[in-house]
Structure 1
Amino acid sequence: MSTISPSEETHQARSPTDRAFLIYQRLVGICLLLLIGVTYPLWIGSATFPAVPAIEALCSVPVWVDRLLLGVLILALVGIQFMGPQTRVSSRLWLTVSAVLVACFLLNQHRFQPWAYQFAVLGLIFGLASPVYARRMTIWISLSIYFYSAISKLNLSFLNELGSDFLATLAAIVGLTLSPEQLVTWKWLALGFPLFELATFALLLFPRTRKIGMVAACAMHLGLIVVLGPLGLAHSWGVLIWNVFFLLQAILLFGFAEPAEKVEPTPSAASGLLVARIVCGCVLLFPMLELVGLGDPWPAWGLYASHVGRTHLFLSRHAVDRLPRPLHAYVDTDSSEDLFVPVRLEKWSLEATGAPIYPGQRFTLAVARAFVSKTDTANATRLVLESPAERFNDERQADTFSGDKIAMEADRRYWWNTKPRAAYLNAR
């Protein structure tokens, strides 16, 4: 499908705004390569962490398919850099990037990281729409991320958990120490994080205040890089690179005025533009489902949100020695003297794949299911499922059941697949 006419190609770099968007499209390709690089075990089908497909029929797909997809993805991204992001060939390469990412998501839900989702959507928009329209849709998607991310943190659970962690870390960086008792008193200051993000969205929304919003966005992402970086909470490289991308995105998208002239799409490009607009509309509206409890947090831009449902896996102390040696590091035998000790699924994900675990009950329950199946510890494990927290109430409902009931509970609760790929179960 041809989407870029010759007249539109000559328009692509006539103004500083056009040149900035050209640089932005290159930045998308470069950052996607970097993010895949720092999370490469997630994309090569590594057997060190369970891969959970979206549908059960994909559980038997061999690992070489993942590696083939990764090779195609890298070649397409490199090709875009060499040929330029706005050529006819590159429009097809962008669509290839988007299609390969979707295939990767289907083979492993864990790959549906928020940055991978964002870049899959942008790849489709870049491939179907001319630069003028692609820029406008990209701006709306960027605005929606700020808006829904802020809304997802306006709740009591964020104040009591991640918000308090952010506050204490920021205080420590500037030389202050907040005791647990002081945090209880001052935790309300953590509301400043989502409120500042919401104010940034409002400033970026209107052209007259967009430059101020750009400065606010840059300040916010610089602050996050400090808080989440080595001096603070030491989050993964993926989190830091994505924040650097957002900082540069704020400058390239919002630091330049909207072009005054309008470019009408050619008849051959109209159908591609329509598809791009439909996809953009779905991306903008999907987070509404999460607000009513029907969607996953990450595709709803629930970033650093604490209200999501949780899965806690516990293993009997007597069964720890039966585990494969690499898994010992993820069982916290020092946290208590109880018979059952926690298995740190989040730590396992970060160290094995370089990426944070996909949030919510479904995927973490699937990981727990894979752990129990792989280690044959069904009779030595307990699982606790915590419901999502209410916006103004941090209380959660908890269901506890034994490890031999995990598979039954997973199949009963979710229509998305919760079984791991055979390659993980069969690996030694």
Structure 2
Amino acid sequence: MFREPLKLQLRILQITMALFALVLLSLTWKLWTPQTLFPQVPLFSRVSELPPAVDWLSFAIMVLTLISLFVLSVASLLKKKPEDESAPRFQMLCGCLFLLSFLLEVVFDQHRLQPWAYQFALGLLILTVLKPPRAIPLFRLFVLSIYFYSALSKCDASFVQTLGRQLAEGLFSAVGISTTYWSPQTLSWIAASFPIGEFLIAFGLFFRRTRQVALWAAVGMHLTLMLAIGPLGLNHYKGVLIWNVYFIFQDLILFHTWFQNQTSVEPVGRQAEEQLSPPTYSGLERAVQTLIWIALLAPLLEPTGYFDHWPSWGLYASHHDRVVLLIDEEAKWDLPPDLQPFVDSPRPLSRWCRVRVERWSLADLGAPLYPQARFQLGVAIAVGKAVEQDSPGDASQPRIRLLYESAADRWSGERKIREYNGLSQIEALSQEFLLNATPRPFPMK
């Protein structure tokens, strides 16, 4: 069956993206609802006054729009006339509504700015609003930017010294090779090769002559990463594995020669007419293209602190600022029993226990912790209020402590650490951030 290749790519991409988005939403549904399992930190402080029903409404819109896009895309693919599209205006509306409802969810809780959801929201907007000759090239550029910025975020000492080594250890452990007696320098050199590979893939996919080699290199990279973080390796949460599977399908649809070798069903006269006539853009198409270009360039601001780490595609990078939450050993027993397993034992000659909020997030919400220090500070404030609410104790003996670690130096990996004792000092730190760092009311039971 001969189909217009760009339109075929667009339809299959929509089906794939809607399907994987539904799967990931189902795995992390607690994150998107007004839950009380984990603190929620709105993007703006006044949002806390709005009713939780808005969360349910926006989540329902996200699910319904994805189902609609999946059904309509399948229906378009099965039509006898390949040029016919099922309810194109309704698909456009679904793409816009999914983005708007996703943004509303993020406004209520910054934790929901998961990188896969951010990618799907922008990707579906491209595929539903723009016509195939404009949508596919822009979508390709969007994917290349993810590889490029992901590689760029790993070009620092902190990745080579920490997460890069962990990925290398997880990879070799998955294939049955022990790294116990390997030197740190050897693991560091292996870790340094990861961003180099991503850079080569990004540039290779950009040029037509090297595209197929880079495509299979990208597939191999995702399979390798799945080994490293899968059950045989670091055993990370399943959502990351599913997202990597999506990337494999996405890259094959976007860059494989099979789609370029398809013959267009458009009449020759119509093709010539479209090539000679100047391109016309509607107001919505111009707005979408402008938004996507902003998303493509905004990650350049990440080193300045004016754009967040995950929307900048800082995936498995560790140079961002962060906080470490500590509580008094006696205060540990005032926490709910469900939270106590995520509190470490104190170090020798110390009474302070570290609260592993990243493990708490994975266990209760099925989603990794949002990496910004602003959000992590909000989580620490919510825990601190719960700890000091019933037993405020002596002001000279605070029951909660926070270590604020600045972004790591690119060349040395060193951080500047500031210490804050007691809830009053920790809450005062929230004034240093441009966006909100105060949590919604959190009744920790």
User: TM-score with structure 1 length normalisation?
Assistant: 0.91
Aligned counterparts of 2:305 and 2:105: Cα–Cα separation in 1:
26
Larger Cα-atom Rg:
2
1:33 is matched with 22
Gap change, CA 1:272 and 1:336, over 3 Å in 2: farther
Within the alignment, does 1:385 sit opposite 2:394 as a pair?
A: no
Deviates more, 1:76-85 or 1:316-325: 76-85
Identity of aligned residues (%): 34
1:409 corresponds to: 429
Residue aligning to 2:89: 88
**CA–CA separation in structure 2 for the residues paired with 1:161 and 1:167:** 10
Q: Distance in 1 between matches of 2:138 and 2:147?
A: 15
2:260 to 257, 261, 270: 257
Cα distance between partner residues in 2 of 1:178 and 1:204: 33
| Residue 348 of structure 1: aligned partner | 360
Q: In the comparison of the two structures, how many residue pairs are matched? A: 412
Indicate if the aligned counterparts of 2:106 and 2:113 stay in contact, CA closer than 8 A.
yes
Kept in 1, the 8 Å contact 2:6–2:133? The answer is: no
Which whole-Å deviations, capped at 9, do the CAs of 1:364-412 have from their partners, x for residues lacking one?
111111111233267301100101112111110000011321111112x
Corresponding position of 1:189: 190
Q: Distance in 1 between matches of 2:338 and 2:202?
A: 44
Report the Cα offset of residue 334 of structure 1.
Answer: 6.1
Letter in 2 for 1:414: F
The secondary structure found in structure 2 opposite 1:313 is strand
**Match status 1:47 vs 2:36:** yes
**Match 1:21 to one of 1, 10, 31:** 10
Instruction: Identify the residue that residue 230 of structure 1 maps to in structure 2.
Output: 231
The equivalences for 1:206-355 within 5 A come to 206-255=207-256, 256-257=259-260, 267=280, 269-333=281-345, 336=348, 338-355=350-367
1:63–1:180 distance in 2 versus 1, CA, 3 Å: farther
Q: RMSD of aligned C-alpha atoms?
A: 2.1
CA contact (8 A) 1:17 1:258 kept: no
Aligned to 1:73: 62
Distance (Å, rounded) in 1 between the aligned partners of 2:97 and 2:365:
24
Q: How many Å separate the matches in 1 of 2:188 and 2:349? A: 30
Q: Structure 2: how far apart are the matches of 1:338 and 1:388?
A: 26
User: How far apart are the structure 2 equivalents of 1:417 and 1:306?
Assistant: 22
Distance 1:124 1:18 in 2: 15
**Structure 1's 322 and 417: CA in aligned 2 closer, same or farther, altered over 3 A?**
same
Q: Measure the CA separation in 2 of the matches of 1:275 and 1:345.
A: 39
CA distance in 2, matches of 1:234, 1:52: 28
Residues 186-237 of structure 1: CA distance to partner in whole angstroms, max 9, x if unpaired?
A: 4212111111111101110111211111111111111111111111111112
Q: Give, as a single letter, the amino acid of the residue that structure 1 aligns with 2:430.
A: A
Give the unaligned 5+ runs of structure 2. 77-84, 265-270, 393-397
Aligned to 1:198: 199
- Aligned residue identity for 1:340: W
Q: 1:409 corresponds to which letter in structure 2?
A: L
**Which 10-residue stretch deviates more, 340-349 or 232-241?**
232-241
| TM-score scaled by length of structure 2 | 0.88
In structure 1, runs of 5+ residues without a counterpart are: 1-12
Structure 2: how far apart are the matches of 1:147 and 1:40? 30
CA distance in 2 between partners of 1:307 and 1:156 (Å): 8
Please give the alpha-carbon distance, in whole angstroms, between the structure 1 residues aligned to 2:284 and 2:416.
Answer: 46
Task: Name the structure where helix makes up a greater proportion of residues.
Answer: 1
